[in-house]
Structure 1
Amino acid sequence: YIAAYRAWLGEAPVTSASAATSRGVRRHKASEDDLDLSRPVELVVLAITPRAARCRLLGSDRVITLRAGSLHRVVAGQIASVQPSKYWTHGGHPYLSGQIVSTRIDTAALGLVPLALREAHGGPPAAFEMELPGRDPEDAIDPTLARTLGPGEHAEADELAERLLETDLRDLAAHTYLGNRLLGLSPQWALHHYEVGVRIAELSVRDGFDGVLPWSLVGNRPLLSCLLGYGECLWQLERWDEAERQLARLVRLDPADPRDVGSRRTAVQARRAWIDGQSWR
């Protein structure tokens, strides 16, 4: 996965001698005193596992594992409102069972530090490169693995993507990989992954941003890939106006358009139906 990611970024391979060991983030654990089981609890979803969601309390760094009746269409980066039923600990780790009442995307409430934008060269328009979180060479995933791995080969990559998001929700490549994984299975679910990634990027690329983010600057590739996935997912769902806006935005950010987003925008404007396999990210 490291070699694939670095190839996607256009960087040289890392030798095993120079590769660092992936490190997790140590967080405080939620206690029973942090919860009021008589009312809904708001949790920031950090990662999804086959049977649970790893979360932290909204407005806090205290973590807890949620076991809910269903995690359908729940993704890392969402805020889940949970009607709790039971709190317990096992092996020193806190757990909460309950029913998810609702989920929402509100990246401004997550308390994230915006990804930095570094000016690469002056304009007009000025070109910027976005910070890549988790620059440990083992902390990386290539979003295109979602379409290149064979049947039965995704489990390890899925686990890696979720682990990366648990460490840093700003990992746009991980959001994009998970969106790509679901695009052909459940575009409605995939849309949540892409939207979380795009909204996190918007903490850095705010309204009125008049620079460009060229694909040739490797730090921009996770955002540009996430934005393309978002636009194409909206296209697949035939949400035409929204899809056209996102693709137009992508062309504004990367006017050289090396991935021919312009032709996709033209197809959306003409209301042409989505065809599986017609794109790459």
Structure 2
Amino acid sequence: MRVTVIGVGRIGEALVAGLCRAGTSAESITVVGRSMERTFDVAHRHGVRVADLRNLPGECDVLVVAVKPQQIEGVLTDLGSALRGSALRPVVLSVVAGMPTNRIEQFLPSVVPVVRAMPNTPMTVGAAVTAIARGAGATEHDLRLVESVLESVGEVLRVPEDQLDAVTAVSGSGPAYVFLVAEMMIDAAMTLGLDRVTADRLVTGTLAGSSAMLGVGDVGPVQLRAAVTSPAGTTAAALEVFEQSDIRRTFRGALTAARDRSVELSGVGRPPLTPASADQH
């Protein structure tokens, strides 16, 4: 499989690294970046090829767009021009937040299928969970190609596109919630008299080990929590404080706020681009 990755930030490089680990030939991977220094650095580190939007590889099965949201329209404009001037018909996989497939499709030739994905930052360690949604022209074959790329960095789920804002709130932003819990536990541990190094090792080790338990067998978080909680014991005392603070309502509110912000950033309700206006960007 031949893959071109536009964007060599953390997500773009993590995907390149994952593909290489999964056995994709480095010669089949091409990177395109705005900073030539960064692009050649990534290419040298992983042994992959370099190109630019005006000179894309002659063959490509999946073309990944992994740029910053503020760069996406300019990149898509250049990409659309490049694809209209070539025989390339790759699946375009966007991992850019806030850009629905129907807006991406307006920049590209109608025969180019689009798939949108919401990965999360654990892809940098090969432990992502990524949701994908098909655009209007994407086929089952296109989805399988995309899955084969994204499975190199973790698990892949299919969802309808109208659920991607909720996915963003849960898994896209989710690592930050876990890191905040770690930060708060470390701070609290230090108030109990532990030094920072000890507190850090206890907390990060506990969270890593507990997360690993979540992925084993059919035992879910409710059962796992119950197994740790002895009646009238230390864990029960701590959990009572959490429940009294209405932590469940706080989490629901936080995820709802993240979902609503994702909807706002995606521009739902904005007038659609016309092919003419897309060409003017």
> TM-score scaled by structure 2?
0.26
Larger radius of gyration, structure 1 or 2? 2
Q: Looking at secondary structure, tell me which structure has more strand per residue.
A: 1
> TM-score scaled by structure 1?
0.26
